[in-house]
Amino acid sequence: MHEFVLPLTPTSITIVTNDVVAPLYADRARSALSTFAATTTTEIPDGEQHKRLDTIEHITNALVRNRVDRGGIILALGGGVVGDIAGFAASIYMRGIRYVQVPTTLLAQVDSSVGGKTGVNHPGGKNLIGAFHQPSVVVSDTDTLRSLPPRQVSAGLAEVLKHGLVADAAYFETMAASLESMRAGDTAALANAVAGSCAIKAAIVARDEMESGERALLNLGHTFGHAIEGMTGYSAWLHGEAVGCGLVLAARLSEALGLLAESEVQKVMQAVARAGLPTRVEGLTAKDAVETMRGDKKSHAGEVRFIVLEGIGKAAQRTVPAHLVVHALHAGGFR
Amino acid sequence: MHEFVLPLTPTSITIVTNDVVAPLYADRARSALSTFAATTTTEIPDGEQHKRLDTIEHITNALVRNRVDRGGIILALGGGVVGDIAGFAASIYMRGIRYVQVPTTLLAQVDSSVGGKTGVNHPGGKNLIGAFHQPSVVVSDTDTLRSLPPRQVSAGLAEVLKHGLVADAAYFETMAASLESMRAGDTAALANAVAGSCAIKAAIVARDEMESGERALLNLGHTFGHAIEGMTGYSAWLHGEAVGCGLVLAARLSEALGLLAESEVQKVMQAVARAGLPTRVEGLTAKDAVETMRGDKKSHAGEVRFIVLEGIGKAAQRTVPAHLVVHALHAGGFR
């Protein structure tokens, strides 16, 4: 990995990783880099529930302790949560230092490591505190996916399906057809997904980095997904699981708006199910979901805008009447 | 003030102010604005010692509670500390919402409200956590300076003198000649300082927003000043007082480097003294100061770069041998 990091000529390297990834890769990363620059490792606890402002403080304390200056870089080694947290810490330390993403989960490799969205959650909503801060380099090694639990592979596939649904029907079909081989760990199939998803996402982000328009389409399934995560305390559901279920809800909502055929909704639902992801919720109420979504970043002047599908491979942004949202939620298992 | 704020068509206005400024101006500001958009007030405690990450959390909690969306704005009503904190909260809430600076101290009107540097302190150094985030509007009303304690007026004059020393010898002379009338509250003289200093600073920031070069010159006196503030717990010295003393130390260092004549050092020292600012420290050691400065943002690969004077009105950046720094510190009263 040093061949990607050294051209940045860092004065120091701070590896930020978690207690699950560290035993697997931290020592290897550190020894690959430490001959070139002072390299230290800072561990954070694993899990979305630690994506909080006090974890940022934990990292900045380490940066101060290690006397990291403006020429230092942070290397985010882990999944999407590590990347979001480490990237946000980099964005606010000394008003911004550089960072490198080394994603070790499928979800991070296909989605979150690209695009520069960083941040932490707030009890009032997901990613409410954060910054746009682009990584200097993203290094994805599909070999690291071999150590990934099946549930995490499925979570990553949610974002792969999302990219197809948002922007590329042919990509959706190809990916839907190789879900089983990707779940079985077929490296070539996984590498296709990483390359294909990054290409779709990077093209959209390049046209609209700050999400003033088109980039918002990448939030397909996320308003619903964030609500599910928020209502369950960011711990019971993986982000990708909530997004998978959110894709189905977004498809149902699109159908209720008359934009998507019932057969297309079934296609989305079957792909999500075959990816090993939940297609329904249990034990949550539509009322709480609506309340939670009103606090989401995508809400504006009290109205929640949704990303909907006008077909497979064609997303659009809409303000939706509340009763249709409730209808879609009920169809998805909300009480 | 509404004529400057309303063109932003905010969905809500959150006034962030402190417990000293609030009784003076918060109600007036709120009633001027509340007919146009939902307006709430969030108070933070007064003082540099509260410029901490948990104060940012206090503000973001209020934003979430008030359901502020991406169209909402923060209005920073108060001195430099309020502006730095409120601006940083705006920069990270939902990855950045707009904010308006309404500075009520001389220091904030002549310096900190312009340029988009926001942030909070860390026990390891001043402004170590922050972001570049430009205010949408800055509204300076010199009438608010009438309520300002004399010590705060003097603190603002430090930055006024700094602007002259960095970039404009004639401005330095004019300002030095009207220090007494500004301290006596002469509104015309103060308005000249606000206009002159903002013009100098805005021109430099426009050429180098992210401080990759020229903007660093505006840190004249600040490496020393930050060290003094850090060593005294950010409470005994006002920021402007530390900067005033830092200007004298920077002049002494410039003399030690052979860049500035003894008569020019005297000129700087006399102006700082006539502004009502300390020109020497007591009870601090040079050793601790050097250690503190190494953790400063301006340090790079263990070396501290200083802004020095090559004459009145002409600043430059230099890496300085440690023994000359210690020499300047000793001359300034450090043990």
Minimum Cα–Cα distance from A65: chain B residue: B124
Minimum Cα–Cα distance from A37: chain B residue: B301
Question: Do B95 and A300 lie within an 8 Å CB cutoff?
Answer: no
- pLDDT tens by residue, A268-312: 999 999 999 999 999 999 999 999 898 777 666 667 789 999 999
- pLDDT tens by residue, B212-261: 899 999 999 999 999 999 899 878 999 999 999 999 999 999 999 999 99
By C-alpha distance, which of A235, A238, A229, A228 is closest to A285? A228
What domains are defined for chain A? 2-146 (3.40.50.1970), 149-331 (1.20.1090.10)
Query: Helix, strand, or coil here: B35?
Result: coil
Q: Does position A333 have pLDDT exceeding 90, yes or no?
A: yes
Instruction: Quote the ipTM score.
Output: 0.88
Instruction: Identify the contact set of chain A against chain B, taking CB-CB distances under 8 A.
Output: 11, 53, 56-57, 60-61, 64-65, 67, 69-71, 91-96, 117, 119, 122-125, 127-132, 294-295, 297, 299-302
Of A51, A162, A201, A252, the catalytic one is A201
Question: Do A128 and B67 lie within an 8 Å CB cutoff?
Answer: no
Residue B11: count other Cβ atoms within 10 Å of its Cβ: 18
pLDDT of residue A302: 65
> Which of A55, A94, A219, A300 to probe by mutation at the B interface, max B CB count within 10 Å?
A94
| pTM as predicted | 0.89
Residues in chain B, pLDDT under 70? 298-302
Contact predicate A104/A21, CB 8 Å = yes
Q: Is residue A133 flagged as an active site residue? A: no
Q: What number of H helices and E strands is found in chain B?
A: 14, 10
Q: Is residue A159 flagged as an active site residue? A: yes
Question: Do A294 and B67 lie within an 8 Å CB cutoff?
Answer: yes
Cβ-count burial A159-187 (b if 16+ within 10 Å, e if not): bbbbbbbbbbeebbeebbebbeebbeeee
- pLDDT tens by residue, A55-92: 999 999 999 999 999 999 999 999 999 999 999 999 99
Positive/negative CA dihedral, A4, A7, A13, A14: negative
Contact predicate A84/A130, CB 8 Å = yes
pLDDT of residue A53: 94
Helices B222-231, B239-256: axis angle to 10 degrees equals: 130
Mean pLDDT on A163-174: 98
A67, A124, A295: residue with CB nearest B294: A67
- Distances from the Cα of B323 to the Cα of A145, B245, B283, angstroms: 54, 20, 20
- Distances from the Cα of A254 to the Cα of A29, A139, A284, A322, angstroms: 45, 36, 21, 13
pLDDT of residue B302: 65
pLDDT of residue B2: 83
Of B159, B229, B241, B255, the catalytic one is B159
pLDDT of residue A126: 83
By C-alpha distance, which of B198, B242, B236, B201 is closest to B222? B242
Minimum Cα–Cα distance from B117: chain A residue: A95
What is the Cα–Cα distance from A167 to A180, expressed in whole angstroms?
22
Unique residue bearing structure tokens 């990916």: A175
Q: Is residue A211 flagged as an active site residue? A: yes
DSSP-derived pairing of the beta strands A98-103 and B38-44: unpaired
By C-alpha distance, which of A324, A307, A319 is closest to A166? A307
Of A215, A229, A241, A252, the catalytic one is A215
pLDDT of residue B301: 65
Question: Do B94 and A67 lie within an 8 Å CB cutoff?
Answer: no
What is the Cα–Cα distance from B59 to B69, expressed in whole angstroms?
14
Helices A239-256, A322-331: axis angle to 10 degrees equals: 120
Mean pLDDT on A244-257: 98
pLDDT of residue B304: 79
Contacts of A131 in chain B (CB under 8 A): 91-92, 95-96, 131
Contact predicate A55/A85, CB 8 Å = yes
Mean pLDDT on A106-110: 97
Sheet holding B38-44, edge to edge: B38-44, B12-18, B73-78, B98-103, B137-138
Average pLDDT of chain A is 95
pLDDT of residue B48: 86
B69, B96, B295: residue with CB nearest A300: B69
Mean pLDDT on A8-24: 96
A95, A128, A302: residue with CB nearest B131: A95
Query: Helix, strand, or coil here: A335?
Result: coil
DSSP-derived pairing of the beta strands B299-300 and B303-309: antiparallel
Across chain B, which distance is largest between two alpha carbons, in Å?
61
pLDDT of residue A192: 97
First to last CA, chain A: 49
